[in-house]
Structure 1
């Protein structure tokens, strides 16, 4: 076995059905046209394909098709939701004090966005600290609410730990408050059942490449009743009901829709099989001793396993695992030599935070690959501990 892929949390390969659907939209013989070209049948067919995909994505998360706004991915969705909402409030009340609640272990797409609002729009931000299991508790949100709180933005599933936040409980707290709830669900959609109405969210970010769709495409769910006010962050044509301008990429959206359809059909089966593989992996590498699970052992999605190895240099460990593709944390910060800010936030020492690995399993992982990974990780860790 040459090399295996255990970094499904960073990105997933396109499902074969998705790749076929995308390819069919690229050439003259396919559905290649601009969906905004309404003067000929090529454009009509492209628009119909885009709207079919919109319906498939909406169905996956229990939304109305009119509540789906296409974006380039979860990062843009997060920016549109958070900055777009704050700017809409600022237009109504330029000097009003505004307060946002988030957590210290959010993805950088949220942390950098709220930091921008702090610096340039004078928005107060509360960063909730996770407990030792990497969980943000609903009571923390309740305690942090003020009369100026306009938005709570929390991820449904942490991208490094895989830990899950009790979004419905937080939404229930906010029923008695004016603040809206935005959820970064990039690591949740496709891995567990997500229903925006059952969860009670106002906005929700989705990324196609996290569940076997193409990169470069995503969506933002924006509740219609009552309508969430948003100021567009990209101007130039008024597409997506004025919330996001730009020519829609038919091929990517068709792929996004097909990935959503497949997940809708296969989620329960995929989740059960992936959980068994993840647990098999943990059972194997835990025999090394001095291996720590990072994050809650139960309140996490099936595909994530984040572990730290005592008495091992993290950078050397990662470099030595050439035959097993894993990450030291978020793919967006993997070039950093700093210890994971998420692992530090849950109380891990610098050594354990540096020696943390995120191993993530997916639809195409096999038992043979898991057994190979156990053997290879055990071999490398054992060698490093003898040095």
Structure 2
């Protein structure tokens, strides 16, 4: 009877995307039908209505982030936000310097953007990492004599869930006059941060990682930094000529409602999710020969990345098809390469045995125990078949 009301498949992959909260769906539905106006239409009530709602959403989100509404630029997702900030800034200031700092465990939208810039003649320098996935901050001192124009980094790693010391990095960049871009895609709803206290120059913020709609994001650009961009999209000149294209009013409203829910839910929701994760962790540690990837202390409450020795991660996922899991980043799941993040950590022998568990708003205790039951059974079964395990 305990498992009677479980909905299948059980979703434990909230870092790849989150379901749209029904309360948000209810709010955005009118904007697909009778509130459909174009934000740029200045000649009739449909356009005026759309303009007003978009600007009100901009003000509300900027208030949540504690910044000026003119510092928010609407984009289609964090990939576009990352490309605009990294490419746009670097190409505009390429005559000043071509040295950029980052780390090799970044999301593909950052790494591939940096690869493009390296082809354009930029010098990309990657900082050293500790075995737990955190930056070796002492390594930063090696670059004080170099003319660095940009440090780009993710606040929270999308695979192992560890968060970097952004406060320290922002102070370092401020003292050394280095522009700081932070990908905050995995942060909203998980960590409260104040853009007045943390001196970030650019921040990419996604909606669909926090129960909002896909296809919309915000790029924060600090006005006090007096920074200019080379646009990567050309068209009607929307968003102060930085990001041309018709704004999607319905998705922006959804993003705004996502932020409103976070304001009221973040404390209790994170407490609930942390408890579910800890229950899962206590039970899963009863299995022999497993390894937790990444620092366990400096980690968001939603994430556990675990390597199970003597089995393949993909084999385990196939065997428990009633549970939605992943072996790493959803953006890299169409390739057969091993995780570039885990390759750089201490436990490199277990790369192909890793599973990312990420818990969220709609998980229940029954989901946790049923998932554990299936995992215990299938790990035991797969290890019995493993040629590497002698019993």
TM over 0.5: yes
Partner of 1:115: 115
Partner Cα distance (1:373, 1:354) in 2: 20
Partner of 2:50: 46
Q: How does 1:336-351 map to 2 (within 5 A)?
A: 336-350=335-349
* Cα deviation 1:26-66 (Å, max 9, x = unaligned): 113xx211011111111111111111211222122222110
CA separation of 1:176 and 1:45: change in aligned 2, threshold 3 A: same
Partner Cα distance (1:207, 1:35) in 2: 21
Q: How does 1:14-163 map to 2 (within 5 A)?
A: 14-28=20-34, 31-90=35-94, 93=95, 96-120=96-120, 122-163=121-162
Deviation for aligned residue 1:221: 0.2
Partner of 1:358: 356
- Paired residues of 1:326 and 1:357 also in contact (CA < 8 A): yes
Partner Cα distance (1:244, 1:163) in 2: 31
**Aligned-partner SS, 1:372:** helix
- Paired residues of 1:60 and 1:194 also in contact (CA < 8 A): no
CA separation of 1:60 and 1:146: change in aligned 2, threshold 3 A: farther
- Paired residues of 1:137 and 1:165 also in contact (CA < 8 A): no
Please give the root-mean-square deviation of Cα atoms over the aligned residues, in Å: 1.2
Partner of 2:239: 240
Of 8, 18, 34, which residue of structure 2 is paired with 1:12?
18
* Cα deviation 1:343-370 (Å, max 9, x = unaligned): 11113234x1101011000111111101
Q: TM-score, normalised by structure 2?
A: 0.94
Q: How does 1:233-382 map to 2 (within 5 A)?
A: 233-350=232-349, 352-382=350-380
Structure 1 unmatched runs, 5+ = none
Partner of 2:389: none
Structure 2 unmatched runs, 5+ = 1-5, 386-391
Partner Cα distance (1:279, 1:349) in 2: 25
**Aligned-partner SS, 2:32:** coil
**Aligned-partner SS, 2:223:** coil
- Paired residues of 1:126 and 1:144 also in contact (CA < 8 A): no
* Cα deviation 1:69-106 (Å, max 9, x = unaligned): 0001111000000000011113xx3xx44100000100
**Farther-moved stretch of structure 1 (5-14 vs 369-378):** 369-378
Partner Cα distance (1:266, 1:139) in 2: 37
Partner Cα distance (1:155, 1:357) in 2: 21
Deviation for aligned residue 1:142: 3.4
